[in-house]
Amino acid sequence: MLCVRKSYFLPTFLLVSLAYILFSSLPPGAEIPYNDNPTEHGPPPPGPSKGDDLIHYRKQPELHPVDEYIPLPTGAPTPIPHIQHDFPVESWFTRRRRVKKQNAVRNAFKHAWNGYKKHAWLRDELSPLTAEYRESFGGWAATLVDSLDSLIIMGLTDEFEDALQAINQIDFSTTGATQINIFETNIRYLGGFLGAYDLTNGSYPILLKKATEVADLIYGAFDTRNRMPQSRWEWTRSALGLGIQPSRNTILAELGSLNLEFTRMSQLTNDPRYFDAIQRITDRLESAQPRTQVPGLWPMMVDAHDMEFNDPRFTVGGMADSVYEYLPKEHMLLGARTNQYRKMYDAAMNSIKKRLLFRGMTKDGKDIMFPGDIRSTAKDNIEPQAEHLKCFLGGTVGIGAKVFNRSEELSIARKLTDGCIWAYDVMPTGIMPEALYVSPCKNPDDCEWDEQKWHTDILRRFAEYTKGEEAAQSIISSNKLPPGVTQIPDPRYNLRPEAIESVFIMYRITGDKELQDAAWRMFRNIEKMTLTRFAHAAISDVRNPHSRQLDNMESFWLSETLKYFYLIFSEPNVVDLDEYVLNTEAHPLKRPSGST
């Protein structure tokens, strides 16, 4: 018997050893997608960053090199008017109430951050219902990088140090994605590193090192015949030395919203390539601006291959928003050393006021405004659609009014901001939907509530022109339309920041405590509806106080939304708008000089 047992020992040992070797190290992508110990760094980076057989981006000789780089504007900066309100010293009681609200926002951030750290560390995004993860932006830990400056602002030092250690593991030379979205990579990753670097006064060189890795990577997308970037970059072609070309269907925002980050890179590194890249785009946009079908504005889609602007759709919302946002901000970041962005802003703002803005009819006569859309230039009427994405405009107009001495437009900025606050307040959940149509006033200067007009607008919106009062009432009931709202085509809330962004900016400009009160209402309603066991989730229908939650939490929840809620309850010198410019992902970039 003993001999028989010995005869099986060796093969059994070999089989067990082989099984251990085969299964103790799972293939890339097969790792368990979370770690039960929140103090540990969770799963390693996604498989694509580890595979030796994958393509890694290495700069090839340029096929369309630049003969001479456009330099940063030189000379002393021109004084820029003061933006922030001169806040008085607050009382002990006022400070106590403010800090209590600030801490509530900080705790919400910590809850979401801990959920990400425990279940999706070094991944792009946490799935807040299932505690899994998703790779949405190249697989380079988007939430981690996007949140770096939020950690600094909120004084979460230990968490920041952990994140700082982790970014060494991010390999920006490769990705499992076949295309790289240049715009998203720019605002989230490059902006994230630069914001944290500037907030810490350059104390952590690793942040500029990683920023340079990102900037050098996406700079490859500019190697085209006309030096316009291929916005959805076929990066493997460039890595193999093959040619690329810009798309004939390029989203305007993806073409014209690279200014701040690339400018800041040239300022910090003294490398002119980055500024040269975006200045060529700006010059093209400026040249086209008076020649579009709505002079002063650019259409939603651009033929970046031939630089034609023939699309008949115009908006300041999704697909266009940050182009207009960056006009006054780039002016500030350049220290007003050029008037180019002032002129472009003047032309854009004059056209926005004339062609896009309308007053919404409300039951209480509130004087609020919204930017609509132009869907066809054959019609002079605007589409009275409000979007959460458009809510940035109040803050942008407020900043433009200050830095360009257009003080008469401060009231427009406030009315736009109040319009978004109203859209929050009228919903049963206290949260604004992604998109809604509003009944426009016939006369913006004299706009009393008109029930019949509201019903007529609803019937027109639902193509029920010939039907009457009973049909309108049925539509209102079945679609849960608050007074003044004619349709809600997208009732979701995706954890978006644009409304609180403008509320924050207008508070810093005016010092009006009503804006803080509005922010607190918004925050409490959002947290109530979005809180999950692991973090916070988007919701499917803001008309339903028991709305179903959705299993996604984009990185801007931590980078923007909660940051703006925190900042509106911070002391005014925290991210002072006279010292920093916030990119469209809320990353603070240091201005070259203060205000007058």
Q: What is the pLDDT of residue 378?
A: 67
Active-site option among 146, 223, 321, 330: 321
State mean pLDDT over 360-385. Answer: 91
Instruction: Tell me if 263 is assigned to a ligand binding site.
Output: no
d(CA 376, CA 18): 67
Q: Where are the domains of the chain?
A: 42-590
d(CA 472, CA 450): 14
The question of whether 501 is a catalytic residue gets the answer no
Q: What is the pLDDT of residue 465?
A: 78
The question of whether 409 is a catalytic residue gets the answer no
Sequence-distant (≥ 6) Cβ neighbours of residue 155 within 8 angstroms: none
Q: How confident is the model at residue 379 (pLDDT cuts 50, 70, 90)?
A: low
Active-site option among 330, 498, 501, 554: 498
DSSP β-ladder status, 435-438 and 369-371? unpaired
Q: What is the pLDDT of residue 374?
A: 96
pLDDT tens by residue, 566-591: 999 999 999 999 999 999 999 999 99
Q: What is the pLDDT of residue 53?
A: 67
State mean pLDDT over 365-377. Answer: 94
Whether residue 561 is predicted with pLDDT greater than 70 in this model: the reply is yes
Whether residue 42 is predicted with pLDDT greater than 70 in this model: the reply is no
Whether residue 547 is predicted with pLDDT greater than 50 in this model: the reply is yes
Give percent above pLDDT 70 in the chain.
Answer: 90
Sequence-distant (≥ 6) Cβ neighbours of residue 304 within 8 angstroms: 226, 228, 229, 231, 246, 247, 248, 250, 255
For all residues of the chain together, what is the average pLDDT? 91
State mean pLDDT over 520-544. Answer: 98
d(CA 194, CA 319): 24
The question of whether 451 is a catalytic residue gets the answer no
Active-site option among 276, 434, 501, 541: 434
Active-site option among 162, 184, 367, 464: 184
CATH of domain 42-590: 1.50.10.10
d(CA 518, CA 416): 14
d(CA 136, CA 181): 10
Does an H or E element contain 110, and which?
A: helix 92-120
State mean pLDDT over 231-259. Answer: 97
Q: How confident is the model at residue 376 (pLDDT cuts 50, 70, 90)?
A: confident
* Two tokens, residue 25: 């190290």
C-alpha dist (Å) from residue 576 to 105, 400, 508, 580, 594: 19, 16, 9, 6, 10
The question of whether 132 is a catalytic residue gets the answer no
Count, in order, helices (H) and strands (E) of the chain: 22, 13
Q: How confident is the model at residue 162 (pLDDT cuts 50, 70, 90)?
A: very high
Q: How confident is the model at residue 76 (pLDDT cuts 50, 70, 90)?
A: confident
Q: What is the pLDDT of residue 49?
A: 41
Burial class (CB in 10 A: 0-12, 13-18, 19+), 52: exposed
Question: Are the beta carbons of 409 and 397 closer than 8 angstroms?
Answer: yes
Q: What is the pLDDT of residue 504?
A: 99
pLDDT tens by residue, 10-26: 444 444 343 333 333 33
pLDDT tens by residue, 191-213: 999 999 999 999 999 999 999 99
pLDDT tens by residue, 114-133: 999 999 999 999 999 999 99
Closest by CA position to 101, among listed 562, 585, 581, 547: 562
Q: What is the pLDDT of residue 54?
A: 80
